Structure 1
């Protein structure tokens, strides 16, 4: 189970990703605007790339997950949105990869949070 501090790591990464594109655009992709769904959508993209998944796999998985919760969108919209995100989100992807690795190695969550914050600040 994730701790509050671990959630803060993921929130920091997602909030950084939100600054890389028109956030209103992604919310408009969905017929029902929902910040929680949108944040999970972004995290899934970043985490997918961080875990080595390819564009098509991420797109298909997102579409299937959204369909399973009866969230209306189409796969082409998702695919178009993801098209350049492996480049635009590269600092966030690296931060996610690093956080996963550090958590797996048992590193202190506060230390990870500080490292991730510093890493993402360098990108600004």
Structure 2
């Protein structure tokens, strides 16, 4: 069973479009381990998150390809978390926004930083 944290992380971690296509093709050939390695190599997906991302891809979900899309995906997954992070950013507390995101998801530090920076650039979602 997949945790909500892991699924959310898979949905908000950018993966280049080419890597998504290659992973789907490898999975369709039964080469799941290679598909997971491809996703991990070209993104910030961790060892426990990459298989979930592959499952999402094979079920027809599209993963974000950049952090702007990742922010949009996070808004869809957890609007309350985005609101809390936006409030922290409004107060000038970028570090706490990153910490909160990392506590609520399994995103790595670099991914958390980049996602928060994308949120800071577009706090109202436009």
TM-score for both structures, normalised by structure 1: 0.30
Q: Which structure shows the higher helix fraction?
A: 1
TM-score for both structures, normalised by structure 2: 0.29
Higher relative CO (Cα under 8 Å, sequence separation at least 6) belongs to 1
